[in-house]
Structure formats: structure tokens, C-alpha cells
Structure 1
Amino acid sequence: MTLLTEPIRETARRSVLCWLATVDAQGQPNVSPKEVWAIADDCHVVVAHIASPISARNIAQQPQVCVSFVDVFVQKGFKLLGAAREVHAADPEFATWAKPLLAMVGQRFTIHSVLVVHVKSVAAIVAPSYRFYPDDTTEASQVQSALRRYGMGSYKK
């Protein structure tokens, strides 16, 4: 079953960061921005462990995670719930999972391991304006609002 459809993949491509939420053995949550991540296939997201010791430790203790990402201009995105595991550089499957991440970083960062998330469910994230003001809110109006807020001239989808 394809959970990570083309619209989800397209939003992921337009999202600079994702946010990985984990929880430790005592139930303390941790949310961490991740710069190097990708949708690997129809049901997996891969995240590079570059500087993520807390995320990796938490996943070893409690695999349930949430990955969220948003196109900040359109102000829409997705929340992915699933179970994660860490694949170390010495593991035979590392090269397969790390391939899209290594293509992103080249020699810029060392990827210590890959956090592989098996996605179990997907939910849309939308700015409240879409729900509370549906007649006045469009993707174009949200983009224009974001451009003004960020002091930018244009945006390409």
C-alpha cells in the first residue's frame, strides 16, 4: 500500500526541514529539526543522523515517532506517524537507506547512521486560515502573505 503518495512527496521536496518527534523511556518528548531527510519509498522516510544523539537514543528505547514537514509558503504539510529504527554505517543495509541522503550532503556532513521510519499513518497539516476562512484563503494568498512576512519577492512551487 502506498502511504507516501506523489502530493506528499512533492510537499516534502518543498520543505527545507522536517521535525522528528521522539520520546525517551521516561516519556519525555524531544522534537528536533532535521535538515537531511528524504522519502525513501512508498512507506519509509529516512533521516540522517548527523548530530542527533538524543533522537537516536530515544528511538533505541521507544521506536514510535512523528515526522512533520510543512511548505512554509503554502502553509500546508503532513504529519507522519510510525516506528523508527537506527541503521548504522557498518550494517549491510546502510548503503541502500543512506543513498538519497548521501546524494544530498556529498562530503559536507558525516552521516553516522540512518534513522529509518516505517510510516503507519499520514495526516494533513494546514494553517488555520484554510479552515476558518475557506472563502478567503487560497494557496496563492498564503504564499503572498508569507512572502510579505519574510520580506521576499517571489516563490516557485
Structure 2
Amino acid sequence: MITEEVREYVDRSVLCWLATVGSDGTPNVSPKEVFAAYENDRLVIANIASPGSVRNVLSNDAVCVSFVDVFVQKGFKVRGRANCVARSDSRYSDLAGPLEEMVAGKFEIHSLIEVRATAVEPIRAPSYQFYPETTEDDQIQSALSAYGVSRG
């Protein structure tokens, strides 16, 4: 399910958004900045400051993770089942390897949230649907203008 295209978007996204459900049924969405695709069926997210997300996953494993390239305005939504992987778990070091490289000692990773994908869907800005002539370059130029940034 985690194809090469999905993996490319994971790698170039600055944040992902983890949607969880609390024990009382309340939805919660939380940004995560340290995450990676793992093999072809999972995402791994670092628990750096996420006690609410961890608590929710422990009570209800249904999650959704989304990530978007903000300039191209495309990305993916991954639905799945999550579990928490403690540092003491024998799988921790293998799963955490790429995440530890990302944090480079700047943050402590307390545990991991492992998401096994059950469905993957593309996310596309409405311009692509309503204006079929829209190109990725058009979207990039529009985003650069909107955000007031330039490519260096």
C-alpha cells in the first residue's frame, strides 16, 4: 500500500497530521514532524510530545494520517490501525532508526506510533479537479506567491 509515490510524498512533507479518536469518541488531530514510511505497509511516527495521541491510540487503534506537499498541493491520506511501540520493545530500534537520524539528538523520542495501512487515498487541491489544465508548476507558483517565499 505504501507505494514509491506515497513514500516520495512522505519524504518531502514537513508535517503529517495524525487523526485519532479519544475514549469518549472525540476526534483529535495533531501535527507530527518526525515520521517515515516503513516497508510497504506502515508509517512510523515519533512520540516526542504526544501524550494525547498515545492515550487515544491505546483506547482506539483507528487512525488516519495525512501529509501534503504544500507547494504542489498534493499528498496522501493513510487510514489504518495503530499501536504504540515502547523503547523496550525488541522492534523499537529497527523501526526508530530513520526517525533517530531525523532528530539527530535534538529531541527525545519516548516511543513510536506504528500505523499499519488499511487504505491509501490521494489528496489533491480542488484546482486540479475544477481546472484540469492546472499543472504542478502552476500550483507551486501560486503557493510561493501566497506564502511570500522564493526558491533559493
Match of 1:148 in 2: 145
Give structure 2 stretches of 5+ with no counterpart: none
Which stretch of structure 1 is more off in the superposition, 69-78 or 5-14?
Answer: 5-14
Distance 2:110 2:131 in 1: 45
Give CA-to-partner distance per residue, 1:93-140, whole Å, 9 cap, x none: 1111111100111210000000000001100000000001112x1100
- State the TM-score, normalizing by the size of structure 2: 0.98
Q: Could you tell me how far apart the structure 2 residues matched to 1:18 and 1:53 are?
A: 17
Identity %: 53
Match of 2:124 in 1: 126
Alignment: residue pair count: 152
33, 51, 54: which is aligned to 2:52?
54
Q: Which residue of the partner structure matches residue 16 of structure 2?
A: 18
Opposite residue 147 of structure 1, the aligned amino acid is L
Deviation sequence 1:82-102 (CA, Å, 0-9, x none):
000000011111111111100
- Matched residue, 1:66: 64
2:111 counterpart residue number: 113
Q: Distance in 2 between matches of 1:106 and 1:15?
A: 18
2:112 pairs with 1:86: no
C-alpha separation in 2, matches of 1:147 and 1:96: 37
| Partner of residue 97 from structure 1, selected from 95, 104, 118 | 95
Secondary structure in 1 matching 2:93: helix
1:62 CA drift (Å): 0.1
Aligned to 1:123, what secondary structure does the other structure show?
Answer: strand
Structure 2 CA distance, aligned partners of 1:31 and 1:118? 18
